[in-house]
């Protein structure tokens, strides 16, 4: 029975993390990547910023392309260059070596900017000006300026012991606040609350999800 419970918990977590999964679709650099739409999925988070890679299904993501062999693409924040970068693999289905296609200096968090936040520049020294502008770059997580959201909506204190407070101009709109534990289980849901009583929750890491119209804000909360 104990082994069954452990297996169930792992399966539940694997199914539940989809709550936080995000996708991005891109069409760009048709000379090298062909006229294909590439779908990216979130694969990692480093220093508060999410990174994305093309999915493995050849009909939707990574695939053979005429310009650089096998096209596997990545969108990630470069701490060394202080910018978001769109990278292609080395043509052999791995990122041992990469080719920089585009970059954007907009320091958005936690996700990369779309086409209306900052400017995506072609890395012409690498592409030899064969790419041109990005045709389309879309996804529900794009063009959300986290700094602007923070100015409208504050969550404090974090870490928290008893009450987690919410404040800001966004409180004038209808919103829903949810807490998820590390297994993806929703443990608290409240509407239009200016504070959340977390005193009955066990100490540990939780994920706070705030939904305001079409905007979703996610925060890692530590309960002491």
CATH of the domain at 207: 2.60.40.3080
Helices (H), the chain: 2-16, 30-33, 124-127, 146-152
**Residue 71 to residue 89: CA distance in whole angstroms:** 6
Listed residues 138, 164, 199: the one ending a domain: 138
- Owning domain of residue 181: 146-223
Q: Are residues 18 and 123 in the same domain?
A: yes
Q: Token pair 């596997």 is at which residue?
A: 72
At residue 173, the pLDDT reads 76
Residues 121, 126, 132, 133, CA torsion sign: negative
Q: Are residues 17 and 58 in the same domain?
A: yes
What is the mean pLDDT of each successive set of 10 residues along the chain, which is 224 residues long?
Answer: 43 40 85 87 87 74 69 91 91 76 88 87 92 89 58 78 82 83 88 90 89 76 90
- What global pTM score does this model have? 0.56
Listed residues 78, 111, 138: the one ending a domain: 138
Annotate 129-182 with three-state secondary structure: CCCCCCCEEECCCCCCCHHHHHHHCEEECCCECCEEEEECHHHHCCEEEEEECC
Torsion angle of C-alpha atoms 135, 140, 145, 146, degrees rounded to 10: -150
At residue 89, the pLDDT reads 85
At residue 152, the pLDDT reads 60
Q: Which two tokens stand for residue 216?
A: 């979703």
At residue 14, the pLDDT reads 40
Listed residues 83, 108, 138: the one ending a domain: 138
Q: Are residues 169 and 215 in the same domain?
A: yes
At residue 160, the pLDDT reads 92
Q: Which two tokens stand for residue 9?
A: 């918990």
At residue 8, the pLDDT reads 40
**Residue 160 to residue 205: CA distance in whole angstroms:** 11
**Residue 85 to residue 105: CA distance in whole angstroms:** 9
């Amino acid at each position: 029975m104990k082994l069954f419970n452990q297996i169930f918990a792992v399966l539940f977590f694997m199914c539940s993390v989809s709550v936080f999964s995000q996708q991005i679709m891109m069409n760009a650099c048709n000379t090298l990547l062909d006229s294909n739409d590439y779908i990216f999925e979130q694969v990692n988070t480093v220093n508060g910023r999410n990174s994305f890679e093309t999915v493995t299904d050849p009909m939707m993501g990574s695939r053979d392309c005429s310009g650089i062999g096998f096209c596997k693409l990545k969108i990630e924040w470069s701490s060394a260059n202080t910018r978001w970068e769109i990278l292609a693999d080395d043509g052999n289905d791995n990122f041992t070596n990469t080719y920089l296609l585009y970059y954007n200096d907009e320091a958005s968090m936690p996700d990369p900017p779309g086409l209306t936040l900052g400017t995506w520049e072609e890395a012409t020294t690498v592409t030899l000006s064969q790419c041109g502008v990005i045709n389309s770059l879309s996804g529900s997580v794009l063009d959300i300026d986290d700094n602007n959201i923070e100015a409208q909506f504050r969550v404090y204190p974090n870490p928290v012991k008893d009450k987690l407070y919410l404040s800001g101009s966004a409180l004038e709109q209808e919103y829903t606040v949810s807490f998820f534990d590390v297994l993806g289980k929703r443990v608290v849901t409240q509407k239009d609350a200016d504070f959340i009583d977390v005193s009955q929750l066990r100490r540990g890491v939780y994920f706070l999800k705030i939904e305001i119209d079409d905007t979703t804000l996610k925060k890692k909360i530590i309960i002491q």
